Amino acid sequence: MKKNIVLDLSFEFALEIIEFAELLENNRKYVIANQILKSRTSIGANIREAQSAESKNDFIHKFKIADKEIRETKYWLMLCRKAKNYPNPDEEIINKLESLKKISSKIIISSKQKL
C-alpha cells in the first residue's frame, strides 16, 4: 500500500494531542482539553473522509474543513502556551501541527488548480 504522508501525520498528531489533553485533564483544565480534542480529532477525520470524496470539489471541501480545524487547534494550543498555570504543549506537537497546515494548504491549492 502506498504511504500517505498527510494521513500518517494527522494520525500521529492525534495520538500526541490525546496525551496532551489527558495532561490538561490531570491538571483540571477540562474545558480546554475538551476543545482541543474536538478540533484535533476532526482534522484527521476530515482528511480521511477526503480520501473517499465523491468529487474533486468534495475533496477540497473536506480539506478546507480540516484546515479550519487546524487553525482552531493552534488557537487552543497557543492559549495553553500563554495562560498561567496551564501545561505547555510540547514543541513537537506545534511542529506537527504546522506541518499539517502546510501540507493541507498545498493540497487545497493544487487541487483547486486541477479543477
Q: In this structure, which CATH number among 4.10.410.60, 1.20.1440.60, 1.20.1090.10, 3.30.930.10 belongs to the domain 5-114?
A: 1.20.1440.60
DSSP secondary structure code for residue 55 in this structure: S
If we measure between CA atoms, which residue out of 109, 43, 112 comes closest to residue 76?
43
pLDDT band at 1, cuts 50/70/90? low
Instruction: Decide if 6 contacts 107 (C-beta within 8 A).
Output: yes
pTM recorded for the entire structure? 0.88
What is the mean predicted confidence (pLDDT) over 98-108? Answer: 95
DSSP secondary structure code for residue 89 in this structure: P
Domain boundaries, the chain: 5-114
Instruction: Decide if 80 contacts 32 (C-beta within 8 A).
Output: yes
- Please write the tens of the pLDDT for every residue from 21-38: 999 999 999 999 999 888
